Structure 1
Amino acid sequence: MMDGEIANIKKWIVIYPVYINSKKTIVEGRRISTSKACENPTCAEIGDCCSYLKIPFAIEIDKAYPRDFMQRGRVRALLKREDGTLYNPAISSRKQLMLHVAELVPRHPGRTKKQELASTSAAAAGPSSKSGKGGRKKR
């Protein structure tokens, strides 16, 4: 049974991290609303969320999203078994999977540590981050 599924991976749905990235615009490829999207998700995080949701997935590292080809990787997921039943009854469409994954990524175990590190290092660095505006404002 497993061989049939693996051979048929081309039929699995594809999720690029861009689809659920709150930092991207619709034009750049985001597919769900910013309120539901998450910040800069990685393929590994999306994959972990799929396994948490009991959905078979495969990470394709050599692939890239055409509109943002610098960001490598995408995740393929299988929503239905060969007999047509859903792996996760709560998720029946690509959109639902994207929404569920986007909800889970911020709670990802690797992410919670990263955010703490980022917030402490950002506080330590202070106002050195350039906002893009020229000139000195602070006096």
Structure 2
Amino acid sequence: MLGVRIRNMEGELPNIKRWIVLYPVYINSKKTVAEGRRIGLSKACENPTCAEIGDCCSFLKLPFAIEIDKAYPRDFMQRGRVRVLLKKEDGTLCNPSITSRKSLMLRVAEMVPRHHGRTKKQEPASTSSGPSNKSGKGGKKKR
């Protein structure tokens, strides 16, 4: 298949059409609910990528496939989505701690900020203790 990377733990050829779909928009804190975010703003992460979501799925021991040629309809400029297998053919969970699509989104959103590929963007705010250009006098100027 064009644009699909499959990481399967077992080895048989999977039917990925039945797997759940996870777009990065679902857990993006920069998006609104109207734009496609599906979890709470406090639990969402900033600008996740398909590769980061895929790495989180492999850490959780869940089979996943990254589809690069697909896009979210409301945000078609951001390409890619991740298909994840939660339940096997017999109905048993692949990872017993992940029971639903919502719990997967919450867990992935919690893990993405700690991803090894992310850089530290937060630097301490520098406060200027030196002299300022203002004269110090405030108030209305007389004419």
TM-score normalised by structure 2 residue count: 0.77
2-structure distance, mates of 1:84, 1:119: 43
Q: Note the C-alpha offset of 1:44.
A: 0.1
Match of 1:52 in 2: 59
Moved over 4 A (4+): none
CA RMSD of aligned residues (A): 1.8
Deviations 1:23-78 (A, max 9, x none): 10000000000111000000000000000001000000000000000000000000
Distance 1:108 1:83 in 2: 32
**Equivalent residue pairs, number:** 117
Pairs within 5 Å for 1:46-125: 46-111=53-118, 114=119, 116=120, 118-119=121-122
Identity %: 77
Q: What secondary structure does 2:107 align onto?
A: helix
Compare the two structures and name the one with the higher helix fraction: 1
| Unpaired stretches in structure 1, ≥5 consecutive residues | 124-138
Aligned to 2:50: 43
Give distance in 1, aligned partners of 2:60 and 2:42: 21
Higher RCO (C-alpha 8 Å, min separation 6) = 2
